[in-house]
Amino acid sequence: MGTLILAVTSLFLYSVGTALQALHFRGRVQSNLAITTLIGMLALTSHGLLIAQTVYHDGGFDLSFFKSSLLISWLIVFLLLGLNLRKPVQSLFLGVYPLAALTIILALITHTPSRLVSEQSYGMLSHIALSVTAYSLFTLAAIQAILLYFQNRQLKHNYNSLLVRNLPPLQTMESLLFEMVWAGVVLLVLAIVTGALFIEDLFAQDLAHKTIFSLLSLLVFVALLIGRYTQGWRGMTASRWTLAGCILLMLAFYGSKFVLELVFHRGG
């Protein structure tokens, strides 16, 4: 199946999914887990086939700026569909589906130097898999933190707002956020450990920026968890710390890629 057909199919399905979630959010249609899951799985399938045609080639994986974004957005959708089967996270689709559609568009209309990782580099691939999964989970946590932040504001100023009526109770939202942060911290620690084992020099010129910002983000998330259980941090405080950690992690993951590929046009 052609790349363009797969891209258009994925964009169409993500648009349908977003529209249905928006109608549900506004109270126009009833939520239906089966339909939500079906549309998501179909979009995930076409998105995955698109990745197979654009990211994997020449015996390796092209993890350049926009190609890696395409892979990460697929994993974010995959994680959210799984979480949605047992957790009240349906509102996150309103942020995740448009994000996935945007990465598809950017991957098709832009060109950056390839950054190939050989499929034989098992140690490096395990590090990348853990890193990408951690980043995907923290992206979901960031969207959850944004919703929690605005939910707190609305509860103080407009208790009967559309946002308050559609989101789960505040305590549930906070519990979900900290479950995501806990899981993300475990994966991020494992990613850093595998990086130390399989990358020759984590503080080499091209990697120092990524390593430092990854460690800083880990410290922020650990501080958040300590504050949660010792000081009872919650609500807006938890949202701000989560977003701060996610911004640092985004700088770690994308900062060096942006400079090397989009500024200096260097592959690898």
What string of pLDDT tens digits covers the 268 residues of the chain? 688 999 999 999 999 999 999 998 887 888 889 999 999 999 999 999 999 888 877 667 777 778 888 999 999 999 999 999 999 899 899 999 999 999 999 988 887 666 667 666 778 888 888 999 999 999 999 999 999 998 888 877 766 677 777 788 888 999 999 999 999 999 999 999 998 888 776 666 566 778 888 999 999 999 999 999 999 898 899 999 999 999 999 988 887 666 665 655 555 5
HSE toward the beta carbon, residue 21, CA cutoff 13 A = 22
Other CB atoms closer than 10 Å to residue 33's CB: what's the count?
Answer: 10
Domain for residue 116, yes or no? no
Domain for residue 225, yes or no? yes
Give the Cα separation of 107 and 123 in Å (integer).
Answer: 26
128 and 253 share a domain? Answer: yes
204 and 125 share a domain? Answer: yes
Please list, residue by residue across 112-137, b when 16 or more beta carbons sit within 10 angstroms of its beta carbon and e when fewer do: bebbbeeeeeeebbbbbebbbbbbbb
Q: Which of 106, 136, 152 is the last residue of a domain?
A: 106
Q: Provide the pLDDT for residue 118.
A: 67
Give the Cα separation of 106 and 100 in Å (integer).
Answer: 10
203 and 238 share a domain? Answer: yes
Which amino acid is located at 256 in the chain? S
Sheet with 116-118: strands ordered across? 56-57, 60-62, 116-118
179 and 262 share a domain? Answer: yes
8 and 93 share a domain? Answer: yes
Q: Which of 83, 106, 129 is the last residue of a domain?
A: 106
Domain for residue 43, yes or no? yes
Q: Provide the pLDDT for residue 239.
A: 94
Structural domain count of the chain: 2
Q: Provide the pLDDT for residue 157.
A: 73
25 and 132 share a domain? Answer: no
Q: Could you please report the per-residue DSSP string of 60-112?
A: EEE--HHHHHHHHHHHHHHHHHHHHTTSS-GGGHHHHHHHHHHHHHHHHH---
91 and 154 share a domain? Answer: no
- Please name which of 124, 103, 12, 115 lies closest in space to residue 51, comparing C-alpha atoms: 103
3-state secondary structure of 56: strand
- Is residue 180 within 8 A of residue 141, CB to CB? The reply is yes
182 and 248 share a domain? Answer: yes
Pairing type for strands 60-62 and 116-118 reads: antiparallel
Domain for residue 77, yes or no? yes
Give me the residue label for tokens 């120092």. Answer: 208
56: β partners? 61
Q: Could you please report the per-residue DSSP string of 125-151?
A: HHHHHHHHHHHHHHHHHHHHHHHHHHH
Give the Cα separation of 268 and 257 in Å (integer).
Answer: 11
CA terminus-to-terminus distance, the chain = 29
Q: Provide the pLDDT for residue 67.
A: 86
Domain for residue 132, yes or no? yes
- Is residue 235 within 8 A of residue 174, CB to CB? The reply is yes
- Is residue 127 within 8 A of residue 191, CB to CB? The reply is yes
Give me the residue label for tokens 């010129």. Answer: 205
The model's pTM: 0.90
61 and 126 share a domain? Answer: no
Q: Give the number of residues written for the chain.
A: 268
Domain for residue 162, yes or no? yes
Domain for residue 74, yes or no? yes
99 and 164 share a domain? Answer: no
29 and 151 share a domain? Answer: no
Q: Provide the pLDDT for residue 205.
A: 52
83 and 159 share a domain? Answer: no
Q: Provide the pLDDT for residue 156.
A: 76
Domain around 1:
1-106
- Is residue 184 within 8 A of residue 225, CB to CB? The reply is no
